Amino acid sequence: MPSYTKRKRSETPASNRSRSITPAANWYKKKKAKKEKPQVHWNSSLRDTVVEDTPEPEEDDDASTILNEHEGERAALSTSSDDIEQDEGLEQVCVAMNSNSQRVGAAIYDPATSTVYLLEDSEDSAAFDLAIAVLEQTTPQTVLTSSKSDEKFQAAVEEHCKTNNITYNLRVSHEFGAARGADRLLSLPIFADSSLDHAPSSPTSSGSGLRDAYDFMRSRVGKGRDPERSAWESKLRLSNWGKADGNTYLCMGSAAALLDHLVRVRATAGDLEDAGVAGLDIVDIKSFTMDRYMHINADALSSLQVFSSQQHANSYSDRSKESLSLYGLLLPANTPLTPSLLRRVLLRPLTDPLTIRARHDAISLLLHPSAGATVSTFPARLKGLGGAGRAMKLLGLRGGRADGGPKEWGALVKFAYEGALLREGILDLAGIPRATEVEIVRKLLDSLQVAAFREMATLINETIDWDASELECRVVVRPRVDEALDNVRHIYHGLDSLMSRIALEISRHVPPEFASELNVCYYPQLGYLITIPLRPEWQGEEDFRGMEGWSFQFMTEEKVYFKSQEMKDMDQQIGDVYTSMMDREIEIIHGLRERVMVFSDQIHVALMHCVELDCLLCFAKAAQMYDWNRPTIVEDNVIQIKNGRHPVQELCVESFVPNDCNMVAGSAATAVAEIDVADPPRNIMILTGANGCGKSVYLKQSACPSHASVSFVPAEKATIGIVDKIFTRCQTRESVSKMQSAFMIDLAQVSLAIRNCTARSLLILDEFGKGTRSSGLLDTSASLTSGSNGAGIFCGTIDHLLKLGPSGPKVLAATHFHEIFTPEGLSPNLPINFSHMQILFTSPSGSIIDTEKSDDYAEALDETITYLFRVAPGLALTSHAARCALLHGIPRRLVERAEHVTRLVAQDDIGQILNEALSEKERLELEAAEDVMKRFLTWDLGKWNTEGDLPDLRSELQDILDMPVST
């Protein structure tokens, strides 16, 4: 077993304190001859990367500071440095993780590929299953966490490290700063050496010896780059990795701690000296993907409308509710813990076919015709037992402070009662054929231990008096539970008569003016007191005229309180009855808590299984309400959807037109290509059509089954292969906090997809490249910086994905760049499925003009366009933007002018536009402007004498502009 020691504060500086599970000698194993680099266990391919030679970086003050700060820690290592091969630290997998409010971010260093993997900030369960899954998948030798991370997170990670003999270092929180992480990443060579080529020199710079601005900047900096421009480009490239926004501060902070750790490891071997982070041999940065979970980032979740938060109407409230979304369709839930589980299921869909099929089996069982009556009782049962989780937390049954009251104890009793009824319902389900093979049925039958929960409920019921507890708003113990408590209660309840008799006895020996109003009272912790009314003439303690032997205690606005010998005798003989009664009740309730704590683990397991059942009920309810059907999960890399629908869009329209989708990728695509079919399914589909014809909805509804395959899907029939990642370029989420234009944000999304996609990935491109001028794309003389870059980048992206062959992802794309569909661009002979959305033209008389294709111009705007929302093979080479504009209220004269100009441009007859006759008013305005220009050009500036008086500039300009002189 590894030794476990906690370093005392006096041994190292505060900034260097850490907890080590293994001795320092185990940190770095001795290097063997020609030892191979260890391999990690996650699936990721490293693209070929060439790192250019970089000039020697200048001295890094931060690195020197870090080295000085950690000299104390290295000196405290228990093993001599002569016996440790320090450079082996960079041959080990290292993970830096941080957590806050059940969100986890991480950075992983893979020495086999010299790659840093970044796990975006993700929601985790209360047991931090995601964090443990990351550690299990990466099998690191060193784990770093922040001292300010969640305590439960630290405990879970530390326990995992103990079990697996992993070095666990608890670092100070300032090492996990997000801004620090961005600075460290920007210092890496892959960001310092921008992949963007230097700006091209103008033809004059090489031919005539003239120097342009780029030559000047090269000569000024001496390294061929403007430092300010290089810094800007590096920050821009960092943002393109999808990690530099404010929503990934845990991930960026983990990257800072990881890189600092690697610097320290290399520095101890003398490899870095002053190079710091810039000297680390890291050749790539990638997104980390879990083996059992689908990778889907925030952009994809928003584009597919999986989540949609709506802010509270009160601007001063930070509360929000779920708007129309896939997650919203599954709500409401029956237990308080179900919404968080549903979110985790949708945030991290599983990719394990067996687990997905097991979930489908459970949903099918809940929808079985014979199970209707039984399943209808489950929501009431789950609502009744759902409060047990909060009760266990407040009662401290799983650790922590016990603050619960009668309501929490009642929740545990109700859990036992509702759990027994729920188990009876599960037994009824077990009578359905093959129901016992469903995993959730077996789990609930095993975890709902009715006998144990009945014993727990009996203990609570026999101890707590529910009526008295409700009356006194505290936990009251039943009579005859404890004899000592009953005796104290008997005395307490008899105090009224006892104090009345003592007050009557005392009044016989006091003056008559006191006897009539004298009383004896009892205050917990103060004891027994004599009280008489406060008289007006009494101003202070010296004025209080009590009987001999009375000592003044305190006074209120109406009464004065005294302590006599009789009261002292009662304090001595009877005591503080109420406090004694409360103390004894607390002891009994604490004993009850200890006895109930024995059942806490069973309650927790059963409750989690009930929450899982409630999650399945949400899926089953949605499938029944919205006509979702069970998909077939296969190992093949295919997406085959028959009559698919968008789960959210169909609720917003009166009638929704379903469509099919058939895509094949990987080895399955190779097999299909060998079959002689007219239009076989392929891994790339490009969709064209008129504006507003439903292309975007089709792309999203075709992607939704891949994400929602964990449940039933909105389609008549679907066969879904496992998808490991979903990337989208559908929405442009702009913000003033981002130093990117809308087009640059689009480029960042596509860049992230291209760098991380696999053959199992799904890529959605909705009008990628929009916002740029598309004409002239195939003109070879056009510059790369011309306005055709949008269409060019789209065409290049499709060409790149096409050349990946069987390793390419499944791609659904929609575009209005019709000029790329030529033999020089995207030829119809390429292995791509070209499709379009059908439309219909009708004449003013109502006759149909075109029913099949959407690429024919209507002869007049009076002809009506009707969107059929059906997908058909072939291309549509026009967008009918003018008719779409007319439908949405653009003035008719503007639309007619747009149609006229479009036709002339299409016919390459721009000269006709330039030679159009001007109206009389436009001609006069043009002549007046021409006269002003001529007068300005003939303005004699030579008459100005700077040594003498300057002319009246204002009056001369007024003459030129032919403006009246203002006084």
pLDDT in tens, 571-604: 999 999 999 999 999 999 999 999 999 999 899 9
CB 91 within 8 A of CB 57: no
3-state secondary structure of 570: helix
User: How many whole angstroms separate alpha carbon 955 and alpha carbon 942?
Assistant: 17
How buried is 539 (Cβ within 10 angstroms: 0-12 exposed, 13-18 middle, 19+ buried)?
exposed
How far apart, in whole angstroms, are the C-alpha atoms of residue 69 and residue 171?
Answer: 13
Bridge pairing between strands 284-287 and 115-123: parallel
Q: 392 exposed, middle or buried (CB, 10 Å; 0-12, 13-18, 19+)?
A: buried
Residues 337 and 381: their CA atoms lie apart, in Å, by 15
Where, residue-wise, is CATH 1.10.1420.10 in the chain?
Answer: 336-479+596-626, 485-584
Domain topology for 485-584? MutS, DNA mismatch repair protein; Chain A, domain 3 (1.10.1420)
**What are the average pLDDT values for consecutive 10-residue runs of the chain, which has 967 residues?**
34 36 32 37 34 37 38 33 42 89 89 82 82 83 92 90 89 89 81 46 39 48 54 60 58 90 80 67 79 82 86 70 89 91 87 92 95 95 92 82 89 96 95 93 95 95 95 93 93 92 88 83 92 78 68 87 91 92 94 93 93 96 95 93 94 93 82 63 92 91 86 94 91 68 83 88 90 49 47 90 91 90 86 91 74 47 81 88 82 84 76 73 84 85 64 76 63
Q: What are phi and psi of 75, to 5 degrees?
A: -70, -25
CB neighbours of 386 closer than 8 A, spacing ≥ 6? 334, 335, 336, 337, 338, 610, 614
Q: State pTM to two decimals.
A: 0.71
- Using omega within 30 degrees of 0 as the cis cutoff, is the peptide bond preceding 332 cis? yes
Cα–Cα separations (whole angstroms), residue 246 to 249, 439, 730, 734: 6, 40, 21, 13
Angle at 657 between CA 652 and CA 663, to 5 degrees: 115
Q: Please list, in sequence order, all residues whose beta carbon lies within 8 angstroms of the beta carbon of residue 881, skipping any fewer than 6 positions away.
A: 691, 898
Strand spans (E) along 610-651: 632-634, 638-644
Answer for the pair 143, 158: CB distance below 8 angstroms, yes or no: no
Could you tell me how many residues make up the chain? 967
128-133: which pairs have CB atoms within 8 A and are 24 or more residues apart?
128/99, 128/102, 128/104, 128/152, 128/153, 128/156, 128/157, 130/104, 130/290, 130/348, 131/97, 131/99, 131/104, 131/106, 131/156, 131/157, 132/156, 132/157, 132/160, 133/290, 133/292, 133/293
- Residue-level pLDDT at 967: 47
**Residues 75, 92 contacting (CB under 8 angstroms):** no
Task: List pLDDT tens digits, range 142-172.
Answer: 999 999 998 889 998 998 898 888 899 999 9
DSSP assignment of 127-142 equals: T-HHHHHHHHHH--SE
CB 286 within 8 A of CB 119: no
- Could you give the 3-state DSSP secondary structure of residue 352? coil
Nearest to 762 by CA among 688, 665, 689: 665
Q: Which residue has the tokens 């900047």?
A: 217
- 634: which strand partners? 721
User: What confidence score (pLDDT) does residue 225 get?
Assistant: 53
Residue 224 sits at φ, ψ, to 5 deg, of 80, 0
Predicted local confidence at residue 778, as pLDDT:
37
CATH fold of 632-839+870-879, please? Answer: Rossmann fold (3.40.50)
Task: Round to whole Å and give the CA distance between 212 and 210.
Answer: 7
Amino acid in position 437:
E
Structure tokens at 143: 């784990």
Q: Which residues of 702-735 are buried (b: 16+ CB within 10 A; e: fewer)?
A: bbbbbbbbbbbbbbeebbbbbbbbbbbbbbbeee
Cross-strand pairs, 115: 110, 284
The two tokens of residue 670 are 């190779």
Tell me, rounded to whole angstroms, the distance of Cα 292 from its chain centroid.
18
Structure tokens at 476: 């009251």
Q: Using alpha carbons, select from 857, 781, 790, 778 the residue that is nearest to residue 819.
A: 778
Task: Provide the edge-to-edge strand list for the sheet that holds 632-634.
Answer: 632-634, 715-721, 638-644, 659-664
CA distance 665 to 635: 12
Q: Is the CB of residue 641 less than 8 Å from the CB of residue 702?
A: yes
pLDDT at 201: 36
CA distance 501 to 498: 5
Please give, one letter per residue, the 3-state secondary structure of 874-892.
CCCCCCCHHHHHHHCCCCH
> Among candidates 140, 15, 137, 24, which has minimal Cα distance to 72?
15
User: Directed axis angle between helix 406-429 and helix 378-385, to 10°?
Assistant: 150
Q: Could you tell me if 887 and 865 are in contact, meaning their C-beta atoms sit under 8 angstroms apart?
A: yes
| Residue ranges matching CATH 3.40.50.300 in the chain | 632-839+870-879
> What topology is assigned to 336-479+596-626 in CATH?
MutS, DNA mismatch repair protein; Chain A, domain 3 (1.10.1420)
Which pLDDT score, from 0 to 100, does residue 283 have? 75
Which distant-in-sequence residues (6+ apart) come within 8 Å of 194 by Cβ?
A: 225, 230, 233, 234, 237
Instruction: Report which secondary-structure segment, H or E, holds 338.
Output: helix 338-347
Instruction: Note the pLDDT of residue 920.
Output: 80
pLDDT at 909: 75
CATH number of 86-188+245-288: 3.30.420.110
Which residue is associated with the tokens 């005229």? Answer: 545
Question: Going by C-beta distance under 8 Å and a sequence separation of 6 or more, which residues neighbour residue 193?
Answer: 51, 52, 54
Contacts of 286 (CB under 8 A, 6+ apart): 44, 46, 115, 116, 117, 118, 755, 756
Compute φ and ψ for 303, nearest 5 degrees. -65, -40
Q: Are the beta carbons of 800 and 753 closer than 8 angstroms?
A: no
Instruction: Using DSSP, state whether 689 is helix, strand or coil.
Output: coil
Residue 247 neighbours by CB distance under 10 Å: 12
Cβ–Cβ < 8 Å for 111, 31: no
Q: What is the largest CA-CA distance in the chain?
A: 128
What is the Cα–Cα distance from 838 to 873, expressed in whole angstroms?
10
Q: In this predicted structure, what is the pLDDT of residue 887?
A: 81
Structure tokens at 528: 């027994």
